[in-house]
Amino acid sequence: MHNLFEIDDWKIIENGFDSSKQKQAESIFSIGNGGFGQRANFEENYSGPSLQGSYVGGVYYPDKTRVGWWKNGYPESFAKVLNACNWIGINIEVNGKVLDLNKQTILSFYRELDMKQGLLIRKFRVRFESGKELEIESTRLCSMADDELAAIRYSVTPINFSGNVKFTPYLDGKVMNHDSNYDEFFWEEDSHKVDLKKGYVCTRTKKTNFTVSTAMRFSFWRKDELLDIHPNTFSKDFYVENNFEHFLEKGTKYTLKKYISISSTLNHSEFSVIPRSINKVRDAYVNGFDKLLDDHISAWKNIWDKADIIIEGDSTAQQAIRFNIFQLYQTYTGKNEKLNIGPKGFTGEKYGGATYWDTEAYCLPFYLKTADPKVARQLLIYRFNQLDKAIENAQKLGFKNGAALYPMVTMNGEECHNEWEITFEEIHRNGAIAFAIYNYIRHTNDESYLMQYGRPVLFAIARFWAQRFNWSEDKKAYVMLGVTGPNEYENNVNNNWYTNYLAKWCLEYALTVNEKITDSSFERLSLAEITSWKKLTASIYLPKIEGSNIYLQQDGFLDKEQLTVNDIPENQRPINQHWSWDRILRSVFIKQADVLQGIYLFEDHFDLNTIEDNFDFYEPKTVHESSLSPCVHSILAAKIGRLDKAYELYLLTSRLDLDDYNCEADEGLHITSMAGTWMAIVEGMAGIRVFSDRVVFRPVIPKNWKSYQFQILVKNKPIKISVSHHEFEIENKGAEDLELFIFGESISIQSGNCYTAHTPKIKTV
């Protein structure tokens, strides 16, 4: 696969401007700070293809549902995180001609995403029709140290002339969502104000009444000398600007430093958002750009010190894993309990910025091992807080007695999704939430969370499963009809193995948790529930290919023509962009890990042969057209000793957006699957598993890596792992001793000590 941008260990680099890549680049070079985020749109005007995007976490609007054929049970709206006030704008004019990279001759262009320092940098030279040449350098940051601040340092140097240049820093709140269902404008104005070198725009979402105040300040410099300028001010609804013309001397650099603060009623009271943003931007302005920059860089350093993965000998892989970690932390830092992780983060509008099962199935394991356990706890409590809505949601679909169906897509707990085969049928999402509770507990043993928050969620989900199975007289087993598994290229199937298996496990786990209840104030399962769930779980139908250990994705899967991905001509990939939907549904091709997703989650339930046989059956049929897929296959490939395959799938998952494998990076990045990429190294290559009763290590190393190393928390204990072709080392960085199973052998590493051994040439289990 061809690399879209240059390879570098810490940077993404674009040398030379190609407007056909601009929308992809806008996504890939996005920056954010967990509180808000910004696509890599240009500060100056740009009339070429672009998706202008600034997103403020948690601020959403319920966009009226649009469907071809209404089905009972569809939600009225889809809650979307909104494209908000454009704060980056700085227009430049020379003799009445607006700087626009779509119009002038571009003499050079360089764009860089510096992931170590969290900076978006550009440097370019243009020639106007008049022959006048300008060089521009810009540095942009969304402060990681303070998630309400951002800043831009924008320098202009006239190369071959001295003369007037006009600068217009502005804020524009008149922003439309590109994905608005009815071309509706989601904002109304609260107020705006402009003054010399400062201003704010405060807008409010219709219906949901989120108020967002965006304030700016700026200063203007000739080299290091602060200039006293007297701009004109202009404002209109939703918009404020300052503009000034200044005489620039040939060859001299002039810099505009623009400071931004964004405050919203997600975190502050209605009355405080405007003064807050004004005060914060004033402080940032007074402290200066360099202070903001230093604080920002040291906040990133703290993240990298804990979460970095160092790969020696393979810059392609190194750049990719850092890009994935970088984007995850830009999207979610765990600081704000009201936020969750949208599949596109702050890099695009698709998926509406809402919460999917991706959070529990993919992101939670990442935060569990790289962040303080309260981050994972907080993600789980987010679902606890939405339990009532999940119960209501299940009631609407006819379930009773406190059964909960969590939404496929949500902002506030209400379902937003509106395709029947997913909204009503892709119910495995419930299982991922239950599994996440279990996963958190096996990492932390946080029994107080389990009893107070996990238990009610788990019981309500289990009640849903209990009602969703029905007895089949024909099969003499409980079956689950009309579902969509993780593989969305099959809809309305019966007995999706993954869903049945997960539901069975969930019922059993709920029964186990019930037995642990000692405090009588906590609700217990009724005797009737216990009896009927035990009966149910003993006879759940789990389809299998007869005479083999291969689990069947769903009833009838073998009726399909058993082709492999190699049978699809290259020019018809991805099939979702080339084939009609019915053709996809009838084909054997699998969008994303399905049976293998289950085998991955419950790996300790299966022997190695079973894992291998299922991998060999399903991997050749999987097109990996969901970003969530290749990482799971990569982990299993490493487990069964297919290191080349594991590596190939690792590159696919880690460079999915960087090289735009699925031709959709222009819409935004696949943030949630980036956690899966990280798992492909930690769980795949390093073979780390945290089970309830033990922690297991089986490190291997791809042949073209010299070494790799990282730090993680296992059961809350910090460890550092280094693996080379000769040996691997595990350092216990915690205060307590560490008990591990390394290639099956029980090892104890004392606090502060290292364990070193030869890295096996042939993988064992």
Interaction residues for ligand BGC, span 456-475 (CB under 6 A): none
What does the longest C-alpha to C-alpha distance in the chain come to? 89
- The Cα 294–Cα 86 span in angstroms is 25
Q: Are 328 and 674 in contact (CB under 8 A)?
A: yes
Phi/psi at 618 (5° precision)? -95, -35
Query: Three-state SS string across 216-245, please?
Result: EEEEEEECCEECCCCCEEEEECCEEEEEEE
Which CA distances in Å does 266 have to 33, 176, 210, 287, 704? Answer: 16, 20, 7, 26, 47
DSSP string, 661-680: TTS-GGG---HHHHHHHHHI
Grouping H, G, I as helix, E, B as strand and the rest as coil, residue 659 is coil
Q: Which structure tokens are listed for 6?
A: 């240059």
- Provide, rounded to whole angstroms, the least separation between the CB of residue 135 and ligand BGC: 41
Residue 516 burial by Cβ neighbours in a 10 Å radius (0-12, 13-18, 19+): exposed
Smaller CB separation from ligand BGC, 32 or 343: 343
Smaller CB separation from ligand BGC, 121 or 379: 379
- Provide, rounded to whole angstroms, the least separation between the CB of residue 333 and ligand BGC: 20
CA 688 to chain CA mean position, Å: 22
Interacting residues of 82 by C-beta distance below 8 A, sequence separation 6+? 55, 56, 59, 60, 61, 175, 177, 186, 187, 205
- Provide, rounded to whole angstroms, the least separation between the CB of residue 210 and ligand BGC: 24
Phi/psi at 427 (5° precision)? -85, -5
Smaller CB separation from ligand BGC, 415 or 731: 415
- Provide, rounded to whole angstroms, the least separation between the CB of residue 348 and ligand BGC: 12
For residues 542 to 581, the per-residue mask of contacts with ligand BGC, x marking binding by CB under 6 A and - elsewhere, is ----------------------------------------
Binding residue for ligand BGC, selected from 63, 425, 446, 488, defined by CB under 6 A:
488
Nearest Cα neighbor of 457 from 400, 385, 537 is 385
Give kind and range of the element (H or E) at residue 197.
none
Smaller CB separation from ligand BGC, 200 or 357: 357
Q: Contacts with ligand BGC: how many residues (CB under 6 A)?
A: 12
Query: Three-state SS string across 425-449, please?
Result: CCCHHHHHHHHHHHHHHHHHCCHHH
Smaller CB separation from ligand BGC, 493 or 723: 493
Smaller CB separation from ligand BGC, 255 or 627: 627
Smaller CB separation from ligand BGC, 25 or 623: 623
Q: Which structure tokens are listed for 351?
A: 């998926």
Q: Are 762 and 641 in contact (CB under 8 A)?
A: yes
489: contact with ligand BGC by CB under 6 A: no
- The Cα 476–Cα 631 span in angstroms is 37
Q: Are 146 and 121 in contact (CB under 8 A)?
A: no
Following CA atoms 492, 498, 499, 501 in sequence, which dihedral angle do they give, to the nearest 10 degrees?
140
- The Cα 341–Cα 202 span in angstroms is 25
628: contact with ligand BGC by CB under 6 A: yes
For residues 674 to 693, the per-residue mask of contacts with ligand BGC, x marking binding by CB under 6 A and - elsewhere, is --------------------
For residues 333 to 372, the per-residue mask of contacts with ligand BGC, x marking binding by CB under 6 A and - elsewhere, is ----------x-------x----xxx--------------
Angle of CA points 66, 341, 384, to nearest 5°: 90
- Provide, rounded to whole angstroms, the least separation between the CB of residue 664 and ligand BGC: 10
- Provide, rounded to whole angstroms, the least separation between the CB of residue 424 and ligand BGC: 15
Smaller CB separation from ligand BGC, 242 or 592: 592
Interaction residues for ligand BGC, span 204-243 (CB under 6 A): none
For residues 700 to 729, the per-residue mask of contacts with ligand BGC, x marking binding by CB under 6 A and - elsewhere, is ------------------------------
- The Cα 267–Cα 46 span in angstroms is 33
- Provide, rounded to whole angstroms, the least separation between the CB of residue 351 and ligand BGC: 6
Just list the catalytic residues. Answer: 488
- Provide, rounded to whole angstroms, the least separation between the CB of residue 5 and ligand BGC: 23
Smaller CB separation from ligand BGC, 342 or 684: 342
Interaction residues for ligand BGC, span 117-146 (CB under 6 A): none
Smaller CB separation from ligand BGC, 217 or 624: 624
Q: Are 142 and 150 in contact (CB under 8 A)?
A: yes
Q: Are 364 and 436 in contact (CB under 8 A)?
A: yes
486: contact with ligand BGC by CB under 6 A: yes
Smaller CB separation from ligand BGC, 122 or 428: 428
- Provide, rounded to whole angstroms, the least separation between the CB of residue 357 and ligand BGC: 6
CB environment 209-246: b (16+ within 10 A), e (fewer):
ebbbbbbbbbbbbeeeeeeebebebebeebbbbbebeb
Smaller CB separation from ligand BGC, 262 or 363: 363
Residue 757 burial by Cβ neighbours in a 10 Å radius (0-12, 13-18, 19+): middle
- Provide, rounded to whole angstroms, the least separation between the CB of residue 656 and ligand BGC: 12
Binding residue for ligand BGC, selected from 86, 496, 626, 634, defined by CB under 6 A:
626
- Provide, rounded to whole angstroms, the least separation between the CB of residue 225 and ligand BGC: 50
DSSP string, 572-602: G-SGGGTS-HHHHHHS--BSS-SHHHHHHHT
Within the chain, how many helices (H) and strands (E) appear? 20, 30
Interacting residues of 392 by C-beta distance below 8 A, sequence separation 6+? none
Q: Are 62 and 207 in contact (CB under 8 A)?
A: yes
Following CA atoms 437, 531, 500, 673 in sequence, which dihedral angle do they give, to the nearest 10 degrees?
-10
Nearest Cα neighbor of 35 from 271, 209, 280, 287 is 280
- Provide, rounded to whole angstroms, the least separation between the CB of residue 690 and ligand BGC: 24
Binding residue for ligand BGC, selected from 672, 677, 709, 722, defined by CB under 6 A:
672
Give kind and range of the element (H or E) at residue 547.
none
Smaller CB separation from ligand BGC, 238 or 424: 424
- Provide, rounded to whole angstroms, the least separation between the CB of residue 81 and ligand BGC: 14
Residues in contact with ligand BGC by the rule CB under 6 A = 343, 351, 356-358, 486, 488, 591-592, 626, 628, 672
